[in-house]
Amino acid sequence: MPREAEEMRGIDMLSETCAAEAAAVLRRVREDAVGRWAPLLQEACFWAEAMVWAAWGGDEDVFEECQESMRRAVTDGIALMAVH
């Protein structure tokens, strides 16, 4: 999703709206995902959005939990896709 990737790169990470902008892009990607990789992309975007909000709120513990959940989802998802 090159358009969404460019949007993410274009977000001013020092602005007061950066978390909301990043979350909106991730939510749109999650909702628009199609094809065989859609479930993995949806799961990764869910955890990425949660990480954005945890970072914005300064909650390091929740950020790390979400990061670990994303890592597991992607690792398990890629392994499952490779098998099928």
Tens of pLDDT, residues 44-58: 999 999 999 999 999
Residue extents of the structural domains in the chain: 2-83
Whether the per-residue pLDDT at 81 is higher than 80: the answer is no
**Contact between residue 66 and residue 54 where contact means Cβ atoms under 8 Å apart:** yes
What predicted TM-score, i.e. pTM, was given to this entire model? 0.84
> How confident is the model at residue 84, as a pLDDT?
54
CA distances 73 to 6, 39, 43, 51, Å, are: 24, 10, 7, 14
CA distances 8 to 3, 60, 61, 77, Å, are: 9, 22, 24, 23
DSSP state for residue 68 in the 8-state scheme: H
